[in-house]
Structure 1
């Protein structure tokens, strides 16, 4: 077990790299129960060998929502997958040598993309359901994100806690049809913690963007670790994992993080939240011309018109976490502001300590909030009423725009021949959807995670007929619960189920 320093952070000399890697292999064997052929949560009739070179799979007869205007949508069509990639889309494709997946009654569409998720907090699910970002002096807001999550819980994570939280959070999103995530880990207390994040993302087997977001003091202790991680794990472009540099402007020395990210030629992402008093610094960066197309700005609440214009002019990307922004006092989600600036946002789940990480919640919240504002203006007789966003718009935010924001649109985000096959099959015959009358509307306004029938990442089936493949969920649940118990005890926080 990792020794803690008197501030609750892992001590620099807590364990050798060799001991950690040895321990991680033992833990990996324990958690490789994740993928062991135990028969737990596996589907016996799932096609085998999917995603392998030359393996042909024909997804036949589904309602195809491609999210590619050049490809179009089909009331009934096939999707041919060869190895990792989509080879063809259209009616009655040649199935010679292909395994057939009957998609009758299914909506076939690209996997969802979450552009901002703190997966290391999975064991803290719902703990902060009633909380806000920062204590405002009112007794009911004493339990808040800044003090409890950042200053208590996050300080006592061991590498093994990082691993199981990251892995379980990834698999839970796969189950919900999220095939790509930017994981904002913020838990890099030591190189061992960082390695545990990467290992969990690798073991989860989905497309992940490793967000190296340093916390207070981390950079001073491990000044070269971002470069080490990039060289060790992200030197190849032909893999499911890529990397983003965190450039948080509320951490002293953030300028160095931006410099490192740009030297490494990776995107620089950061939270931009008015509640944290970031507006003056953000304005300074805008005026200095520091924004670029490599920037991902998360939330963008409470920022000046000048900074918005500079971000739009630079081609920066905006990631919105609408339910969280409304619930936790980040500020009103700037959906309409982004659209007015000509910026197409992506959607993100943020923190499961407060809200579920399923994509249907994110889409529905965005859809209803923007329309509520526009409808209110219309009812008030305003002359300048924004266009109501559509269900198709919102699905685009949750797929293709996310891929663009993460610089992955050449690989994923739409069903396009040549792209990798990140595909979900959604059950449109289920009791909450049937009879099907409008494909995008059904996805956004009716569906939830129980409708996610099957999930494919880079051509490999990861969920089949409602079950994650080769995942020992009872075992992983026990490990996550053990991590939760450690975190509450080590942080000195009482776990009261009805507080």
Structure 2
């Protein structure tokens, strides 16, 4: 019989309209699935987890993160997008060994899980050799989190604007590492698109991805690089569709949002990076206007936190600020906020699941779905009294309050600590890896490294 876990007496944010939010509710996990959600559930043979003083919510879903850059955490704290291309792509990326990719992905995966992010679309675009790719996949699998590992390019292939084709090694990668559609780690493709590769290469990249039946993620509309109507070109060439996630979208024209909506593709926003690096304003309202469902991502650890609590807050506050500004300019006041905290929770959970084509498995606390669940402590100075659990999570949540995390029914964090993870060892290996990469690039650890802006090839 499958192992059973009963989480009892928690405040549940189900993100399932049929269940709603429950106070003092229970969740029964059987094997890797959610068996029941309700009050006073009977499961005498289950391991009981006391949820008193906690909030349960679905595992959060990050639809755009470059996990390999965990090694370069905060190095780009004061960089623009062009400086990022010059520093990370032009100076640092080529010096990553396969073992550097492994420890970066492992540490970055653990960071996500520690903060309640159970699923990540990993935009893995430093595949300098087949060994680098194998290391990236193996690290994600070792973490026991859920990932869509989007195969990108080598550092040399990515330097924009590129005329180099994507390596056919991805075919070996699929056969060797992705044999089952039920595995926690699935294959996707991180494509450069018409902004960062030639048109001919972009067509070939798309054909390769679709031949592999891989989910496609592509950057569009990120600042000045994205003002050449990339979505229109994708539509004209038959490259949009429900297998495509368009990331950023900030500098797109209004009609390009209509094109995305009409094609059935999804969109990922990474608001903190977009605001810092000049991509443009987060496009929450523009997506909602055309009926699209916003999703959220961290993007890069080089100048960002690694958790979605802050991202939810940023999206919420920016969209509200826009509403107040529009009202002020017309001499009126806002009567109803355009985006609420429940919306933000959905951006970070079920919307992401739909974009990744995984909403039949994850994204809500629903019987029959896999048990990707986060337990947040609410018996503390940040949360008590718990007047509004949804508002508390979005406005006051942070990784330090994440008590427990389950992925497909497996506990990967309990009592505030990752399960069976030697954190000091991981951090030590990550620091040594950082020392290697920086030394090879001629950068001293701790120095203020600010590269000159990148010049397109």
Both structures adopt the same fold (TM-score exceeding 0.5): yes
CA distance in 1: counterparts of 2:205 and 2:236, whole angstroms: 19
SS at match of 2:370: coil
SS at match of 1:245: strand
Once the two structures are TM-superposed, the CA of residue 221 in structure 1 deviates from its matched residue by 7.9
Once the two structures are TM-superposed, the CA of residue 220 in structure 1 deviates from its matched residue by 5.5
Q: Are 1:418 and 2:368 matched, yes or no? A: yes
CA distance in 1: counterparts of 2:182 and 2:390, whole angstroms: 32
Q: Are 1:319 and 2:268 matched, yes or no? A: yes
Q: CA-to-partner distance for each residue in 1:392-431, whole Å, 9 max, x for gaps?
A: 1001000000111111111111001010000000001121
TM-score (norm 1): 0.85
- Cα pair distance change 1:436/1:277, threshold 3 Å: closer
Partner of 2:329: 380
Partner of 1:217: 157
Partner of 1:352: 301
Q: Are 1:363 and 2:312 matched, yes or no? A: yes
Asked if the contact 2:5–2:30 (Cα under 8 Å) also holds between the matched residues in 1, the reply is yes
Once the two structures are TM-superposed, the CA of residue 498 in structure 1 deviates from its matched residue by 5.8
Q: CA-to-partner distance for each residue in 1:230-266, whole Å, 9 max, x for gaps?
A: 1221121111011111221112312111111111112
State the number of aligned residues: 438
Q: CA-to-partner distance for each residue in 1:97-139, whole Å, 9 max, x for gaps?
A: 10100000110110111111111011111111111101xxxxx
Mapping 1:182-331, distance limit 5 Å: 182-215=121-154, 216-217=156-157, 223-249=167-193, 250-252=196-198, 253-272=201-220, 273-277=222-226, 279-331=228-280
Q: Which of 82, 104, 127 is the aligned partner of 1:165?
A: 104
TM-score (norm 2): 0.92
Mapping 1:384-395, distance limit 5 Å: 387-395=337-345
Once the two structures are TM-superposed, the CA of residue 319 in structure 1 deviates from its matched residue by 0.2
Q: Which of 375, 380, 396 is the aligned partner of 2:346?
A: 396
SS at match of 2:430: helix
Asked if the contact 1:119–1:166 (Cα under 8 Å) also holds between the matched residues in 2, the reply is yes
The worse-fitting range, judged by mean Cα deviation, of 196-205 and 224-233 is: 224-233
Asked if the contact 2:229–2:253 (Cα under 8 Å) also holds between the matched residues in 1, the reply is no
Partner of 1:87: 35
5+ residue gaps, structure 1: 1-52, 135-143
SS at match of 2:302: coil
Partner of 1:431: 381
Q: CA-to-partner distance for each residue in 1:410-462, whole Å, 9 max, x for gaps?
A: 11110010100000000011211111100110001112111101000100001
Q: CA-to-partner distance for each residue in 1:178-206, whole Å, 9 max, x for gaps?
A: 10001111011111111010000000110
CA distance in 2: counterparts of 1:292 and 1:222, whole angstroms: 21
SS at match of 2:288: helix
CA distance in 1: counterparts of 2:229 and 2:315, whole angstroms: 28
Asked if the contact 2:404–2:413 (Cα under 8 Å) also holds between the matched residues in 1, the reply is yes
- Cα pair distance change 1:314/1:409, threshold 3 Å: same
Q: CA-to-partner distance for each residue in 1:130-151, whole Å, 9 max, x for gaps?
A: 11101xxxxxxxxx20100111
Once the two structures are TM-superposed, the CA of residue 280 in structure 1 deviates from its matched residue by 3.8
CA distance in 1: counterparts of 2:111 and 2:230, whole angstroms: 36
CA distance in 2: counterparts of 1:461 and 1:245, whole angstroms: 29
SS at match of 1:101: strand
Once the two structures are TM-superposed, the CA of residue 287 in structure 1 deviates from its matched residue by 3.0
Asked if the contact 1:279–1:304 (Cα under 8 Å) also holds between the matched residues in 2, the reply is no
Once the two structures are TM-superposed, the CA of residue 335 in structure 1 deviates from its matched residue by 1.4
Once the two structures are TM-superposed, the CA of residue 175 in structure 1 deviates from its matched residue by 0.6
Q: Are 1:469 and 2:419 matched, yes or no? A: yes
Once the two structures are TM-superposed, the CA of residue 387 in structure 1 deviates from its matched residue by 4.9
CA distance in 1: counterparts of 2:315 and 2:404, whole angstroms: 25
Partner of 2:284: 335
Once the two structures are TM-superposed, the CA of residue 283 in structure 1 deviates from its matched residue by 2.2
Once the two structures are TM-superposed, the CA of residue 381 in structure 1 deviates from its matched residue by 2.6
Asked if the contact 1:85–1:458 (Cα under 8 Å) also holds between the matched residues in 2, the reply is yes
Asked if the contact 1:312–1:341 (Cα under 8 Å) also holds between the matched residues in 2, the reply is yes
SS at match of 2:303: coil
SS at match of 1:210: strand
Q: CA RMSD in A?
A: 1.8
Once the two structures are TM-superposed, the CA of residue 223 in structure 1 deviates from its matched residue by 3.3
Partner of 1:16: none
Asked if the contact 1:108–1:424 (Cα under 8 Å) also holds between the matched residues in 2, the reply is yes
CA distance in 2: counterparts of 1:148 and 1:382, whole angstroms: 45
CA distance in 2: counterparts of 1:266 and 1:66, whole angstroms: 29
Partner of 1:73: 21
